[in-house]
Structure 1
């Protein structure tokens, strides 16, 4: 499930890097503004994020391979656990700060549309990915 999550997530980045616009408005703020007239460096970063997301899928695939190297298995186990914790925390902290924005406690450059989609989809998607990664790593 984590591999599918990662491939879908990286696919979104690749789609946007190739000029696709579907869903990009839901990100809001500076990301949306930069996507309207992207510079070469912005596009390079979007491509890079897609490949980094695929790296997560590669790590999960490596967990499926049975080998007799307990050191490598242990490193993979902790790498995926830590990655899962970071993914979840990233989504949770964004969810909290965007919620504070929704209640006018803090001010961000997000319109109502982006605020809704960040709270209803993007941040929960990050948190779900974190949980999936964390649960994917099992001791053998």
Structure 2
């Protein structure tokens, strides 16, 4: 019987570990580019960002360092969701808020890349010609990568919630995180930022 519980417990932790690996791996390019590396820049990100990276623009460098740090925080969040000893009530709420927020935001953002790429390839949407060479990267690499990270965080949040004795407040925090991420995405989309 104990062996079954241990096996079930291990299976329940894989999404948290997957989210952690996703966050840590995704931080590597940000830090690499912030340190001046250029491999992969030209073929995988927009030409405007490539030029800023080449010029070592201070604003661009700050964005790269901040996004790299946020990705590391995402990795730490994944690890926090698989902790075997129970967290306090407030921390469980915060973990659910952050995990659902990150999961929904990442999945939505990735889905936008995929849908836009497929619409362009189908001839239903036009984009500037200088963006066409990197379209495949956004459609088939970055989009699915963001969606996979989003799914990992949502699954990790669900697995974590099953370990929490009182589900009510953490569940509400998760809903707030997910809806907040959707609202943020909608505002970014309407303002042309995202």
Aligned ranges 1:31-42 → 2 under 5 Å: 31-42=49-60
Structure 1, unmatched stretches of 5+, are none
Matched, 1:96 2:115: yes
With structure 1 as the length reference, what TM-score do the two structures score? 0.88
Closer, same or farther: CA 33–98 of 1 in aligned 2, 3 Å? farther
Instruction: Give yes or no for the alignment of 1:59 onto 2:77.
Output: yes
Q: With a CA cutoff of 8 Å and minimum separation of 6, indicate the structure with the bigger relative contact order.
A: 1
Report if aligned partners of 1:3, 1:60 keep a CA contact under 8 Å in 2. yes
Deviation at 1:68, TM superposition (A): 4.7
Alignment RMSD (CA, Å): 1.7
Alignment of 1:1-140 (within 5 A): 1-25=18-42, 26-65=44-83, 66-104=85-123, 105-108=125-128, 109-112=130-133, 114-137=134-157, 138=159, 139=161, 140=163
| Paired residues of 1:28 and 1:111 also in contact (CA < 8 A) | no
Which whole-Å deviations, capped at 9, do the CAs of 1:49-92 have from their partners, x for residues lacking one?
Answer: 10011111122222233235123213312320221011000110
SS of match in other structure, 1:111: helix
| Whole-angstrom distance in 1 between the partners of 2:143 and 2:96 | 24
Which structure 2 segments of 5+ residues have no match? Answer: 1-17, 164-194
Relative to 1, partners in 2 of residues 1:72 and 1:15: Cα closer, same or farther, differing over 3 Å? same
Alpha-carbon distance in structure 2 between the residues aligned to 1:93 and 1:59: 24
- Does structure 2 retain, via aligned residues, the 8 Å contact 1:28–1:115? no
Where 2:154 maps in the other structure, the secondary structure is helix
Distance 1:38 1:126, change over 3 A: same
In the superposition, the TM-score normalised over structure 2's length comes to: 0.65
Query: Quick one: distance in 2 between partners of 1:52 and 1:59?
Result: 10
Max Rg structure: 2
